[in-house]
Structure 1
Amino acid sequence: MFASPAYAQAAGAAGSSSGSTIFMLGQFVLIGVIFYFLLIRPQQKRAKEHRATIDAVKKNDVIVTAGGIVAKVVKVDETEVEVEIAPNVKIKIVKATIADVRTAGAGKPAND
């Protein structure tokens, strides 16, 4: 008595497996497109803007490093930046560790 409805459902599902496979693939493609426009693309744009900001660092800019140090740029090299973290205390940092760049008049180092 219970076996006949189960066989009827299995037979109906077997006939539509091709259509459901295409539908399922379409859903995965749609999810991929949504992820690209909502997550991947904005992150790439933000990384590109950050890279351009770091490349535009110049003398007398105030920067914030990834470690949270606020410093004034004294000298800019190709891959390194010499910064002043306190009066007469200068250190060299790698450009990739710069988290934020402020223009010359936007802020001051904490120890000025």
Structure 2
Amino acid sequence: MFISNAYAQAASSTFSMDNIGGFLPIVLMFVVLYFLMIRPQQKKQKEQREMVQALSEGDEIVTSGGLMGTVSQVAENHIAMKMASGAEVYVQKTAVVAQLPKGTLEAL
């Protein structure tokens, strides 16, 4: 009485280019997302990992907490860093943010 009948539409069994055309913008968005966001981030992480692995005694570094000092010992997961006051601090390798050019800390 108040409810009208609902009829199903016949499914098309033929493959057409219209079906692919509907997914093309979504695929294009994922490709652009990969090249603008994911790939540069992976490249930056790889450079950071290589820099941390290449640390050696005498390198001048900056930690994520803002501490600056010279590497005095290198271990598997951490390093000993000598600061300007003469104090030696142990930090994890993952806390190293940047490697400074030689002589930077002497100028301060």
On the 8 A contact 1:62/1:109 being kept in 2, the answer is no
Q: TM-score, normalised by structure 1?
A: 0.74
Q: 2:99 is matched with which residue?
A: 101
For structure 2, which runs of at least 5 residues remain unmatched after alignment? Answer: 1-16
Indicate how the Cα distance of structure 1 residues 70 and 30 shifts in structure 2: closer, same or farther if over 3 A, else same: same
Whole-Å Cα distance in 1 between the matches of residues 79 and 27 of structure 2? Answer: 44
Whole-Å Cα distance in 1 between the matches of residues 79 and 106 of structure 2? Answer: 16
* Pick aligned residue for 1:38 from 36, 39, 51: 36
What is the aligned residue count?
A: 92
Give secondary structure in 1 for the equivalent of 2:66: coil
* Pick aligned residue for 1:88 from 86, 101, 107: 86
Opposite residue 48 of structure 1, the aligned amino acid is K
Opposite residue 33 of structure 1, the aligned amino acid is V
Opposite residue 94 of structure 2, the aligned amino acid is A
Q: TM-score, normalised by structure 2?
A: 0.76
| 2:76 counterpart of 1:78 | yes
Indicate how the Cα distance of structure 1 residues 69 and 41 shifts in structure 2: closer, same or farther if over 3 A, else same: same
**Which is richer in helix?**
1
* Pick aligned residue for 2:64 from 63, 66, 73: 66
Q: Percent identity?
A: 32
For structure 1, which runs of at least 5 residues remain unmatched after alignment? Answer: 1-17
CA RMSD between the two structures: 1.9
Whole-Å Cα distance in 1 between the matches of residues 42 and 89 of structure 2? Answer: 31
**Which ranges of 4 or more aligned residues in structure 1 deviate by more than 4 Å?**
none
